[in-house]
A and B are shown apart, each in its own frame.
Chain A
Amino acid sequence: MTIDRETGTMIRRDVPSVINPLDRHALEASVRIRERHGGRVTALSMAPDDVLPVLKESLARGADRLVLLSDRRFAGGDTLATACVIAAAVGHLGTFDLVMCGDETTDSGTAQVSAQIAEFLDVPNIMHVDDCGVSPDGDLRLHSRNEEGAFTAEGQTPMVVSVTADINEPRYVTLMDVLDSEGKEVLILSADDLPLEESWIGLEGSPTRVLELFEPERKSRAEMLSGTPAEQAAVLADRLRRLGFRNG
């Protein structure tokens, strides 16, 4: 990926679009819940409409329908403006039990959107979920792990949950899945279809601004060690020790 130094924006033109990898895990988790407990899975994405063919993969991955939120007025939105649109769409589509997202995106990695969606929808939110199930009485049972530790939570739906890559291994899309995805519903919604005010969305609705995007300066600081393998290993071990690394 390259960055345009003049404008400080990412050049997306030559980068093929994909479904955000963590969202694939979220979709897989949703489909597994539906397979065990019934229900309906809607894949929802905010994106320019030219990525529709890419998003249709979600239908082959098991979603029952695909909803694309696409409008030029959404462009330039930060996490808050994005979450606002998604939450409005979730509300617009009817009742729901569970909104599942990937913990973060691979392009900006802010990890804020799921919490913001939950806030807009006024429902509980749990992040970093690496295991989830449904208890016999219909409650969600979730396991979450972060740098500080782990916990298991049980709670009632509706809820917004964001997942890590550890939650599952997304299935392969089979040729039959591709065929079966073709009849499924695809819905494209614009700002006019949703209860939104212009001041909440796009650039205008974004309290945060990216001031600058830059490539980290590349400094080559590799140092070649000489001597026999044993001598090199001894020097390397010594350096690592001095840098504070310890055995074990």
Chain B
Amino acid sequence: MDFTLSERDRMLQKSIREFAEKELPPRMDRMEETGEFPLDLLEGLAKMGILGVITPREYGGSGLGHLARVLVLEQLGRICPAIPMSLEVHHMCVYGINTWGTEEQKKKYLPALADGKTLGVFAVTEPGGGSDVGGTQTTARLDGNDYVLNGRKCFITNAHVSDIWVVAAMTGEGRKGMSAFIVEKDFPGAGTGHVEDKLGLRGANTGELVLQDCRVPKENLLGGEGNGMSVALETIVKCGRTGMASVGLGILNAVLEEAVKFANERVLYGKPISRLQAIQFYLSDIYSDLEIARLLAYRAGWLLDNELPADAEATLAKQWICEAAARSARKAVEIHGSYGILKEYPVQRLLRDALVTVPAGGTAEIAKVVLSRQAMS
């Protein structure tokens, strides 16, 4: 068993770290204020190969795979977690199309999702619920050479900053009644609803997609009629959960750095508070969370790269890491005392960001249901 990162992995980690440290901070205040994703960053993300990290090279990506994706998202999240939040969903759109798409679909959409013109969307959740995928109410009815889609999708990351959406809709009844479609923003009847004003991860756009008699050409059916449930579940579990785990991991990196920095700088009773055992215990808790998170997230990425079963592992990583990020961020705020609630200190933002990751992409409770099945198997 080898826990060391390869030379390649370490080099890409370093290059993304450098990019993140320079490019993200100047944009973050505005992201916090407006809740908008910085579209001017897309070109840089494309050039760096970040948008196409899991896109095969023949479709314009770098094809580095899932562990590389975890490393990239972690480094971006260490500076600004809203960015990997947007990207992780973008990658789900790529994953869906790359896994189930026809050659024509891949040729048409994957390069466009790697070159920086747009982010991708993966839309399953509806006002009726996110965890209950089977309860999807959006419908798709075949009419000539088009499917006609009707319904609303909510809590959709990148809704307003994307031209290419993967959307789940019902073409029939029951588990085999769901199908997935690639919808372009400009298709007749495709539109966006309101933008959510979130507590954290504010720079990641979240909002509604509205499909009103939206005409989608038959060739944009993804994965064949009736296979939508597989497209949705596999993408959410493998790609989505590993991605969310990476966002949480990025947050944990930042949380530890901020906590240690403050504890070393803040002097009480004539010495830095890092010399107080109560504070050391907090720091050791945060450090432990970070180290365990890293093992879980890297393992999930590695399993996917090696095409090994990863459903339970990705679910565990997502659920455990996002909760760890929230509890560690809370401890970092405690270490800061009253400074922790001031906006000029990043820890309050990290706590808000971490809280948003907990239900995003599947609640902790749903994850526990999955894990209990694994436990009893």
How many chain A residues have a CB neighbour from B under 8 Å? 14
Chain B residue at minimum C-beta to C-beta distance from A53: B7
With beta carbons under 8 angstroms apart, the residue of B7, B44, B62 that contacts A56 is B7
- B48 at the binding interface (Cβ < 8 Å): yes
Q: Which residues of A contact B72 (CB under 8 A)?
A: 175
A176 lies within 8 A of B49 (CB)? yes
Q: Which residues of B contact A245 (CB under 8 A)?
A: none
Digitize B5-31: 1 where CB-to-A-CB distance is under 8 Å, 0 elsewhere. Answer: 001101110111011000000000000
A179 lies within 8 A of B64 (CB)? yes
Q: Which residues of A contact B68 (CB under 8 A)?
A: 175
A175 lies within 8 A of B48 (CB)? yes
B11 lies within 8 A of A174 (CB)? no
Most chain A CB atoms below 10 A, which of B8, B53, B72: B8
Per DSSP, chain B at the interface is helix
A175 lies within 8 A of B14 (CB)? no
Q: Which residues of A contact B14 (CB under 8 A)?
A: 57, 173
B49 lies within 8 A of A174 (CB)? yes
- A60 at the binding interface (Cβ < 8 Å): yes
- B50 at the binding interface (Cβ < 8 Å): yes
Q: Which residues of A contact B10 (CB under 8 A)?
A: 53
How many chain B residues have a CB neighbour from A under 8 Å? 20
- A139 at the binding interface (Cβ < 8 Å): no
Would you list which residues of chain A between 158 and 196 have a CB under 8 Å from chain B?
Answer: 172-179, 181-182
B62 lies within 8 A of A172 (CB)? no
With beta carbons under 8 angstroms apart, the residue of B7, B12, B18, B44 that contacts A175 is B12
A176 lies within 8 A of B15 (CB)? no
Q: Which residues of A contact B266 (CB under 8 A)?
A: none
- B47 at the binding interface (Cβ < 8 Å): yes
Chain B residue at minimum C-beta to C-beta distance from A52: B7
A172 lies within 8 A of B11 (CB)? no
Q: How far is the CB of A175 from chain B (nearest CB, A)?
A: 3
Expressed in whole angstroms, the Cα–Cα distance for A182 and B11 within the complex equals: 11
Chain A residue at minimum C-beta to C-beta distance from B44: A172
Digitize A16-39: 1 where CB-to-B-CB distance is under 8 Å, 0 elsewhere. Answer: 000000000000000000000000
A178 lies within 8 A of B48 (CB)? no
Chain A residue at minimum C-beta to C-beta distance from B11: A178
Q: Which residues of B contact A175 (CB under 8 A)?
A: 12, 15-16, 48-50, 53, 62, 64, 68, 72
Q: Which residues of B contact A176 (CB under 8 A)?
A: 49, 62
Expressed in whole angstroms, the Cα–Cα distance for A179 and B12 within the complex equals: 9
Expressed in whole angstroms, the Cα–Cα distance for A178 and B11 within the complex equals: 7
B19 lies within 8 A of A178 (CB)? no
A182 lies within 8 A of B8 (CB)? yes
Expressed in whole angstroms, the Cα–Cα distance for A146 and B279 within the complex equals: 49
Q: Which residues of A contact B15 (CB under 8 A)?
A: 60, 172-175, 177-178
Expressed in whole angstroms, the Cα–Cα distance for A53 and B6 within the complex equals: 10
Q: Which residues of A contact B53 (CB under 8 A)?
A: 175
Further contacts, 16 of them, CB under 8 A, given A56-B11, A178-B11, A179-B62: A53-B7, A53-B11, A56-B7, A60-B15, A172-B19, A172-B44, A172-B47, A172-B48, A175-B12, A175-B15, A175-B48, A175-B64, A176-B49, A178-B8, A178-B12, A182-B8
List residues of chain B with CB under 8 Å of any chain A CB: 7-8, 10-12, 14-16, 18-19, 44, 47-50, 53, 62, 64, 68, 72
Can you name 30 A-B residue pairings with CB atoms under 8 Å? Answer: A53-B7, A57-B11, A57-B14, A60-B11, A60-B15, A172-B18, A172-B19, A172-B44, A172-B47, A172-B48, A173-B11, A173-B14, A173-B15, A174-B47, A174-B48, A174-B49, A174-B62, A175-B16, A175-B48, A175-B49, A175-B50, A175-B64, A175-B68, A175-B72, A177-B15, A178-B11, A178-B15, A179-B62, A179-B64, A182-B8
Task: Please name the 6 residue pairs, one residue from A and one from B, whose CB atoms are nearest each other, closest first.
Answer: A175-B49, A173-B15, A175-B62, A174-B48, A178-B12, A174-B49
